[in-house]
Amino acid sequence: MTTIDVTPETGKKPESPANPRRRVYRPNTKYIPILATLALLVIMYTSGVVNYENFGQPSVLVNLFRDNAVLLVVAVGMTFVILTGGIDLSVGAVISMTTTLTATLLQGGWPPLVVLVLVLLLGSLLGAGQGAVIHYFKVEPFIATLAGLFLARGIALFINQSSIPIRDETWKAISEYRIEIADGVVTKPIAIVALAAVLIAAAVLAWTRFGRNVYAIGGNADSALLMGLPVGRTRIAVYTLSGFCAALGGVLFSINSTSGWALQGNGLELDAIAACVIGGVLLTGGSGYVFGTLLGVMVTGLIQTIIIFQGDLNSAWTRIIVGVLLFAFIVMQRLVTRKVKQ
């Protein structure tokens, strides 16, 4: 009788070394959305360089960071929230509350440093309160943050419904300061702050226990709880971080515009969510990267830049194109997650 050796793991005949089975490399599917966003960004930028004069100037890329600094900072906080499977609708209203309160206090003669600490603390406390309601009372994030939206917007309108100019010398000096990157290429401090926020957030997600907990909760909160992970503490911290980033975005907004207004930041929460989704952050949580969010913000900013260079297009096309991209990336996410489950 002839015996045939089999592998204990599979029960199948081992492959012959002389005729090995060809192995096909398959890239990790979790990188597909961010790679698609990167490819889209490269195609859009190349198209702009080919079709428009001066589009390839370094100042165009630098201005993308400057013009979208507020959105980028807010989207960084939103990334953490979405990675846990949540959502934060209050960030735009927190921006309006922050700018209005900042302008009012500076107009009243408060020291700029005290105002800065106070508004950042207020945004963080509002975020922490939302996180606590979501975790301890099992309220859906959509409802809890919607309540936070109304609360923050109401506070802003209560403080002042008109635009408040900021004449504080420190605020004006920061607003007028320019950082020279290269010959003829300058940017504002708000762009540097936004870039620093991206780098810090990426490091936290990649190399800290908190970052690993964020991904674990987004993957499966019940499993994370059974593993002994601090689900409640992490979830509250994530919404606190989102509130802090929204307040920081409000500070940057007030520096850039040297004013405060209760309707500033209106709808910015939707832009932040769109940037995260276009950047490959999975809406159901557990998958995504801060650098993907950065690419998503750059895509939306590049759309606006191309429309400006074109000159004869209505600004409404920005919303239309972003809407089409959102549909496309949501479908892509669905297909990728379905393939992984299979």
CATH number at residue 261: 1.10.3470
Which pLDDT score is estimated for 312?
Answer: 76
For the record, the structure tokens of 197 come out as 């926020």
Distance from C-alpha of 75 to C-alpha of 236, rounded to nearest angstrom: 18
Give CA 242 to chain center in angstroms.
10
Which pLDDT score is estimated for 297?
Answer: 96
How much helix, strand and coil, in percent to the nearest 5, is found in the chain?
70, 5, 25
Which pLDDT score is estimated for 336?
Answer: 72
The total of structural domains in the chain comes to: 1
Distance from C-alpha of 198 to C-alpha of 205, rounded to nearest angstrom: 11
Answer whether residue 21 is part of any domain: no
Picking from 91, 14, 107, the residue whose alpha carbon sits closest to that of residue 268 is 91
Answer whether residue 154 is part of any domain: yes
Which pLDDT score is estimated for 319?
Answer: 85
CB distance 246 to 121 below 8 Å: no
Distance from C-alpha of 46 to C-alpha of 151, rounded to nearest angstrom: 44
CB distance 171 to 106 below 8 Å: yes
Q: Which of 52-56, 89-93, 150-154 has the lowest mean pLDDT?
A: 52-56
In Å, how far are 7, 31, 316 from 34, measured between CA atoms? 38, 6, 26
Distance from C-alpha of 206 to C-alpha of 211, rounded to nearest angstrom: 6
Answer whether residue 75 is part of any domain: yes
Distance from C-alpha of 84 to C-alpha of 125, rounded to nearest angstrom: 19
Cα torsion angle, 204, 206, 209, 210, sign: positive
Q: What is the tens place of the pLDDT at every residue in 322-332?
A: 889 888 888 88
Answer whether residue 234 is part of any domain: yes
Evaluate if pTM is beyond 0.85.
yes
Determine the 3-state secondary structure of 304 from DSSP: helix
Q: Which residues pair with 322 in a beta bridge?
A: none
Picking from 178, 192, 213, 186, the residue whose alpha carbon sits closest to that of residue 285 is 213
Answer whether residue 250 is part of any domain: yes
Full domain range(s) for residue 53: 29-337
Answer whether residue 9 is part of any domain: no
Answer whether residue 267 is part of any domain: yes
For the record, the structure tokens of 282 come out as 């999975």
Answer whether residue 295 is part of any domain: yes
Q: What is the tens place of the pLDDT at every residue in 163-210?
A: 999 999 999 999 999 998 888 789 999 999 999 999 999 999 999 999
Instruction: Give the position of tokens 């975020």.
Output: 127
Distance from C-alpha of 84 to C-alpha of 287, rounded to nearest angstrom: 9
Q: What is the tens place of the pLDDT at every residue in 112-123?
A: 999 999 999 999
- pLDDT reading at 19 higher than 60: no
